[in-house]
């Protein structure tokens, strides 16, 4: 039993096909990386927005609390001194919260882990 094959393909055709296939793989890997990073960024953005809203509401509560404290201090010192002390404390709290927020956001760096693993696997396959 003989099998009939089509005309022999030239080396140029084989190289062109291989190039086309590799381009398709690379495009797919890039699309996967973009999808992973964008979904991670959306989640981070939403979380950061919610944390910002919570921090703002908490800060408003602190402002009213410190207003009360300033008026209480005003019973022993001049009112301006009470407000000066409270203002200084508010700026210190704002600086600490800002540094903590910056540190938390710096830790969350979304990396396209699956895309990197797929790319490494593709490279290993092509080398073998």
Q: Do residues 90 and 110 touch, judged by C-beta distance below 8 A? A: no
What secondary structure letter does DSSP report for 76?
Answer: T
Sorting pLDDT into bands at 50, 70 and 90, what band is 4?
Answer: low
Instruction: State residue 107's pLDDT score.
Output: 80
CA distance 96 to 89: 11
Q: What pTM was computed for the model?
A: 0.40
Look up residue 61 and give its two tokens.
């509560």
Instruction: State residue 27's pLDDT score.
Output: 84
| Half-sphere exposure in the Cβ direction for 81 (13 Å, CA) | 7
CA distance 109 to 95: 23
Q: Per-residue pLDDT tens for 8-67?
A: 878 888 878 878 888 888 888 888 777 777 777 777 888 888 889 999 999 899 778 878
CA distance 91 to 87: 6
């Amino acid at each position: 039993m003989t099998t009939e094959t089509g005309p022999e393909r030239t080396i140029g055709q084989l190289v062109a096909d291989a190039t086309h296939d590799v381009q398709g793989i690379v495009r797919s890997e890039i699309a996967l990386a973009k999808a992973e990073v964008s979904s991670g960024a959306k989640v981070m953005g939403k979380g950061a927005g919610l944390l910002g809203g919570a921090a703002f509401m908490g800060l408003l509560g602190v402002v009213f609390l410190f207003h009360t404290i300033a008026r209480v201090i005003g019973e022993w010192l001049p009112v301006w001194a009470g407000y000066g002390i409270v203002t200084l404390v508010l700026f210190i709290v704002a600086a600490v919260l800002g540094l903590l927020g910056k540190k938390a956001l710096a830790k969350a760096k979304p990396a396209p882990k699956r895309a990197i693993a797929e790319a490494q696997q593709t490279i290993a396959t092509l080398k073998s």
